Structure 1
């Protein structure tokens, strides 16, 4: 329906004819179990700019569409990322259905879904693991590297192995898939003297186009709404796709992102004054010094070899990811006096981290016949190693200067004298998994998905002075799903998914506890409208954490002094529902709307994980004008979050106090005008109404303010 030109879709008159033809032949555009004519048309029709009918591997590995997957899956398309000017992974999470982000300081964010932290990620479907709030640029991943982002909510252990029953985020790289020279150049300027440039070029590397290359470069630098803060980001990415034969594809690529900030914060602003009353700072207030920085470098290297034979495909992949950071930081804590500003203490830090992950995987997928029907099967093997190293310098406490009057803090604080270097963390984590899944076509409308993973997980090495050597072998992770389609456009589905998380806890006999099990159940209804251009999903879910370690007060671990044994118990349970509507209302009008509501309680019925909102509403809609206003596109939306809070002890009164962020909404606006077929100008305004809110409150009994109104103007040239 759309002529795709470097990820920016334009509605064409030819596309309208195809759309009308497809509506006449196949009102719902669903190719499965249709005639050959219907299948031919459905292959021509591309769904809307904000959703996709592509086959995705993020949830099951079976190459199913969103409509065919028995879980809640959201795809943030290239056009959506462009329209909302979503620069980083954190920006994407803040705008995607069912997930939320929470700041820890100027550098780190944690992501959450359905009441649990997200620590499972994939790049082109290959699992990687990031600690929540990773300190080496993980949540700052720049979107110039990726074609789209896929988010599967619930437990995802079938493909990702160990982790939390929250969600898995799959970052889909840009690939060299164009046999002709094409590309784009973007120039941008924004508030706080922020300037950026992005180039994305694809080109054939031989006469036939069987060998193709793609290069992406991105640079951005500017200041911030926080005092002293500056940001500098540089991204380079190169990839080659080579058709070795008609059925063999080789992909190799490498990327590097450098983040070089200044005036970085570590933690947040104080919540209380010395008299126990609450503080009220300007949003520009900072705890940084003029020498603090939390720089990071993220490198990715990959090789994919894909071989097709008949109805089957084999994919061999090698991925290497290195996340490193250098930290020159200052942590300020205490309760400053309202008048004098005295009462804060300083804790400087000079440290470095490096995390290298290497994955080797082989996947085989295809169709097979059984009892007169066609079915799908996937089988995979993944070997993953994760090496983490963290070092820090010992400081000379005699050279740590007093903070002085925090009310007049300007960052002119001296560095202490740094002494010898020491190793804090030196750990190796090995994961090995074998998985398989099949989709059984019981009848034309009824499909059943059965799958499982057999997983090993081992971790060893020192962690802040304590040796760790534990893990679990032969953990079985089941996957069960069922889908029933009726009226040709609605599918009722149910699924049970599982995930595990090893735990470093021992019982009264000295044995390590079984891993925590995250058990996710989901029932929903998926529907297609307007030839599949508009898709909806309504889901009800329940997630239970089982085998969570609880302390046995007064019972030591045999052979370990000053230790405490544990017992496995039922952990937190999350129950709720989600609604998502995404796609086209008509060929000129795109819509993305979602609502999420859930409650998370521990085994005693007490609310847990309340620092993240349990109610989310997200809306973004875009309209392409015709007639005299042709070339003009206007878009707007709102991200609304319900109340979140943390109960903490007031540092002065020693009484429990609720640190709360009330429900708030951030409005956004976009206007774009196509000056010519190749040149367009765009304006984005975020936090249009200049809402004052906390990006976090309660983390280490501190607070961070969210970004005030921000605007970015850009020019885009396509060729």
Structure 2
């Protein structure tokens, strides 16, 4: 039995910017310039109990207390600090009434340091640093009609990571390029919005879970590996808004697949296909104040390769596709008071939502009921 005690974790973020219009070639455009800084510090201690007694001698007379155990000397002590400074600028150009071009970027300095010791020995001022990373962005939007627009965008990816590999070393920042194109539409006099999009993401240092704990690392810390040359391709369909008076709908379908340069699938614990649908209807007339709704989510199968005791090869642990259904009802009693009821996982679906971690998985929540009351002063 181990323990991680988080003694302190703080984060400070500052952002300052200025924006305004400017004239160029006889047309009005917009410009935003700014700077941001963030600093995060955390420390934790990992140690195990020497002795612990969690037996309840008399349940009927138990006061809820369990004696505090004696703890052994810490096996892990780590102090970590990270900071990021960014200078950014974005310009929105309007060459014509129907065409908009958004161009910008940021210059990033990032640093992370860790000191202390773990199960592998002292951490000798573990430090990672990237300076002058340029992250550009370019987007184009063209209005086909008053209700339909096509768009395309590109951005470079630079994302510092906090996950660690099997040697308890932090993975280098994720880098790559992201491309997206699509069609946005307004229907029902602008009350319903739809989007059809395709995207491609190329990544180096993509973090993929190994499902294994980190020897000598923080408690419950999972080891990751960095994959170069990963490529993600996908499609997204979305619709949100009011389809009839009082009837709100949100619906979406996402397909995405990530593969390494050899064509092998990555991040298989995330589904390739997902469908999300939620709807709410607010009654009028005699039932005015009553709102009912439902949410349905579906995803296809996922899997992870795990190691079983006594087995000579990895076992393919599969979570088949599943559907979750939630229900809600709310009644507005007065302008300030409402009452509601919710049912989550109506069909009591049994599924794993953390597949592969520690060569296993965790069951998702079973069917659950809740009542609530909201009063606003």
Distance 1:352 1:520, change over 3 A: same
Q: Report Cα offsets for 1:620-666 as digits up to 9, x if no partner.
A: 11112223333322211201122111111222223221112111111
Residue 480 of structure 1 aligns to a residue whose secondary structure is strand
Counterpart position of 1:518: 176
Normalized per residue, the structure richer in helix is 1
Task: Work out whether 1:635 is the aligned partner of 2:293.
Answer: yes
- Equivalent residue in structure 2 for 1:364, among 13, 18, 21: 18
Distance 1:522 1:611, change over 3 A: same
Counterpart position of 1:681: 339
- Higher RCO (CA-CA < 8 Å; seq separation 6+): 1
Q: How many residues align?
A: 336
Counterpart position of 1:572: 230
Unaligned runs of 5+ in 1: 1-346, 402-412, 505-512, 550-567
Task: Work out whether 1:618 is the aligned partner of 2:271.
Answer: no
Counterpart position of 1:581: 239
CA distance in 2, matches of 1:475, 1:363: 20
Counterpart position of 1:440: 93
1:102-501 maps to which residues of 2 (within 5 A)?
347-349=1-3, 351-393=5-47, 395-396=49-50, 399=51, 417-421=70-74, 424-462=77-115, 464=118, 465-467=122-124, 468-501=126-159
- Equivalent residue in structure 2 for 1:533, among 178, 187, 191: 191
Distance 1:716 1:357, change over 3 A: closer
Counterpart position of 1:656: 314
Q: Report Cα offsets for 1:606-628 as digits up to 9, x if no partner.
A: 11111122211111111122233
Kindly report the root-mean-square deviation, in angstroms, between the aligned alpha carbons of the 2 structures. Answer: 2.7
CA distance in 1, matches of 2:349, 2:48: 41
Distance 1:529 1:426, change over 3 A: same
Counterpart position of 2:219: none
Normalized per residue, the structure richer in strand is 2
Counterpart position of 2:59: none
Residue 12 of structure 2 aligns to a residue whose secondary structure is strand
CA distance in 2, matches of 1:533, 1:432: 40
Q: TM-score, normalised by structure 2?
A: 0.82
Cα offset for 1:400? 7.8
Residue 700 of structure 1 aligns to a residue whose secondary structure is helix
Q: TM-score, normalised by structure 1?
A: 0.44
Distance 1:426 1:536, change over 3 A: same
Residue 694 of structure 1 aligns to a residue whose secondary structure is coil
Distance 1:370 1:526, change over 3 A: same
User: Is the CA contact 2:227–2:260 (under 8 Å) kept in the aligned structure 1?
Assistant: no
CA distance in 2, matches of 1:390, 1:650: 31
Unaligned runs of 5+ in 2: 54-65, 163-170, 208-225
Distance 1:649 1:482, change over 3 A: same
